[in-house]
């Protein structure tokens, strides 16, 4: 009986120790210092390259390019973290672009804080052009001589004939393979003077499909 009690107590202590260690373990955050190493490793294990954006206007399927490994891995990582769910297409310019991944909701800012504050290395020299249907990433708004990309946001070129004046300044990392009619619907919504839709256009969710 004594041995049984002793084993039970020992097991309880071990369990509490494990739980305690879990609580004290620091939460991982992405930073400018660790982002390149992290996504180089992430790229080796996570090869998914197709995602689906679900909106009230319909679905948009996107293929992410393997050549732009930092941007592809970042997008897959954020999708798995469910970051994009309930964000918005917050900048809409008809016959130009629709830009998403942000929101005026505090919950979006809180999600960013839990993932980290970082920029992605420039990936624009891969030969991809800003043709209609291409998916690209805006540069950070901060002083940015190296055109580092803002990782939480993206835009889809809706302009017929493309928006090639953007080539060389922004990193194209994917293309729409289904749902350009949905992109056109979103691009046509009424906006205010700041190009924010007068009625919010939500990204209900983004999910990996392949």
- Could you read off the pLDDT tens digit of each residue along the chain, which spans 210 residues? 444 444 543 454 455 444 544 444 568 999 999 999 999 999 999 999 999 999 999 999 999 999 999 999 999 999 999 999 999 999 999 999 999 998 888 999 999 999 999 998 877 678 899 999 999 998 744 444 344 568 999 999 999 999 999 998 888 999 999 999 999 999 999 999 999 999 999 999 999 998
Task: Give the per-residue pLDDT at 147.
Answer: 47
CA angle 32, 38, 44 (to 5 degrees): 150
Residue 75 lies in a domain: yes
Residue 68 lies in a domain: yes
Residue 1 lies in a domain: no
- Residue 167, judged by CB atoms within 10 A of its CB (0-12, 13-18, 19+), counts as middle
Domain harbouring 150, CATH code: 2.40.100.10
Residue 129 lies in a domain: yes
Task: Give the per-residue pLDDT at 190.
Answer: 98
Task: Give the per-residue pLDDT at 103.
Answer: 87
Instruction: Kindly state the tokens that stand for 48.
Output: 């998914």
Report the number of distinct structural domains present in the chain: 1
Residue 31 lies in a domain: yes
Q: Name the nearest CA neighbour of 36 among 149, 135, 110, 119.
A: 119
Find the radius of gyration of the CA atoms of the chain: 21
Residue 22 lies in a domain: no
Task: Give the per-residue pLDDT at 148.
Answer: 55
Element (H, E) at 53: strand 50-55
Domain hosting 144: range is 27-208
Residue 183 lies in a domain: yes
Distances (CA, A) of 198 to 17, 87, 154, 186: 53, 15, 20, 12
Residue 8 lies in a domain: no
Kindly compute the dihedral angle of the four CA atoms of residues 99, 123, 180, 112, in this order, to the nearest 10 degrees.
Answer: -40
């Amino acid at each position: 009986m004594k041995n049984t009690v002793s084993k039970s107590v020992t097991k309880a202590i071990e369990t509490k120790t494990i739980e305690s260690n879990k609580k004290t373990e620091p939460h991982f955050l992405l930073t400018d210092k660790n982002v390149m190493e992290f996504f180089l490793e992430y790229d080796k294990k996570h090869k998914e390259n197709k995602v689906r954006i679900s909106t009230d206007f319909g679905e948009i399927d996107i293929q992410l390019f393997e050549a732009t490994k930092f941007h592809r891995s970042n997008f897959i990582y954020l999708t798995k973290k469910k970051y994009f769910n309930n964000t918005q297409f917050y900048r809409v310019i008809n016959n130009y672009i629709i830009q998403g991944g942000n929101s005026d909701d505090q919950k979006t800012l809180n999600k960013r804080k839990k993932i980290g504050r970082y920029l992605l290395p420039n990936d624009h020299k891969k030969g991809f052009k800003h043709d209609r249907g291409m998916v690209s990433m805006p540069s950070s708004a901060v002083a940015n001589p190296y055109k580092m990309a803002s990782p939480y946001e993206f835009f889809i070129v809706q302009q017929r004939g493309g928006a090639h004046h953007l080539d060389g300044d922004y990193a194209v990392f994917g293309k729409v393979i289904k749902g350009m009619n949905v992109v056109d619907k979103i691009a046509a919504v009424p906006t205010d003077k700041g190009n924010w839709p007068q009625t919010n256009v939500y990204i209900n969710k983004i999910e990996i499909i392949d």
